[in-house]
Amino acid sequence: MKALKTHSDHRGWLMELFRNDEIPKDFLPAMGYVSETDPATARGPHEHREQADFFCFVGPSTFKIYLWDTRKDSKTYGNRQVLEAGESNPQSMIVPAGVVHAYKNIGTKPGWVFNFPDRLYAGKDRKAQVDEIRHENQANTTFILD
C-alpha cells in the first residue's frame, strides 16, 4: 500500500491517485472506474487469473480490505492480510493476479473506490470471458470476512 497525499487550499483539495513514474514498469492501467459501496456492504472475495487491480481508497468512508495470497510461487503464499484505508487514511494498492481480495465499507456513509486495472473488463469490445473467480457465493469458501 502507498499513502495518498491530499493537497488542500481555499478551493478544496486534490489527490494524485497514481503516476506512471511511481508504479511498477510492468503495470500499465488499461481502464479506470469508480464504485460506490454502501455501509456494512462487502465486494468480493474474488480473484483474477491475469488481471491486476490498482485500487485507491480515498473516502468518503472507511474500508476494511482483505487479501489472501493464492500464488503458489509467491513468498507470501497462503498468507491472509487485513488492512484499513479510506477517508482518514487514503491509500492506493496494486493487487496482483492470483491474490483473492475483498473490501467492506465499515464506515457510516457510502464510500468510493477507484480502480485502474491492467486489463479491460470482458476484453476488447466486451467480447471476452470475464477474468474473475468469484468466491463470495461459494458455500464452503475459505475466504471469510470478519
Domains in the chain: boundaries: 2-122
Q: Is 126 helix (H, G, I), strand (E, B) or coil?
A: helix
Q: How confident is the model at residue 138 (pLDDT cuts 50, 70, 90)?
A: confident
pTM exceeds 0.95: no
Q: Can you tell me the mean pLDDT for 89-109?
A: 97
The model's pLDDT over 122-132, given as tens digits with 9 standing for 90+, comes to 999 999 999 99
CA 134/CA 55 separation, integer angstroms: 18
Cα four-point dihedral sign 11, 32, 49, 130? positive
Give the count of alpha carbons within 13 A of 105, CB side only. Answer: 20
Q: Which three cell numbers stand for residue 132?
A: 474473475
Average pLDDT of the residues of the chain: 95
For the domain 2-122, what is the CATH code?
2.60.120.10
